[in-house]
Amino acid sequence: MVISDPRNIMKTAMVASHPGGTVRIGDLLDKNCQTPIKNCYCLDTSIIPEPWGLPPTVTVVAMGKRLGKHLTTPKKKRVTKKKASQSNTRA
């Protein structure tokens, strides 16, 4: 039977992290979180450019809602940068 020696027990501070930045928007993803592979999207904490030390839950949920809206909007109704700039010049 082995008995642990309490002098050999190591204590550390509790640490938690929210890693991110492995598949950043603008680097490997477009503004709609689409990868270079057509119809392949990425949406989790890896899209956030850098881990900021705060829980990213609200941001990921908001991005998920945005992506869901993008995916369910018919392509004809989607506003692109080109369409938006054309409508601004007409006004």
Token code pair at residue 1: 């039977």
Provide the total of helices (H) and of strands (E) in the chain, helices listed first. 2, 0
With vertex at residue 46, the alpha carbon angle to CA 40 and CA 52, rounded to the nearest 5 degrees, is 155
| CA 66/CA 86 separation, integer angstroms | 23
Are the CB atoms for 20 and 51 separated by under 8 Å? yes
Are the CB atoms for 43 and 81 separated by under 8 Å? no
Query: Which pLDDT value is given to residue 4?
Result: 66
What are the average pLDDT values for consecutive 10-residue runs of the chain, which has 91 residues?
A: 65 69 87 92 88 82 95 77 55 50
Query: Which pLDDT value is given to residue 35?
Result: 93
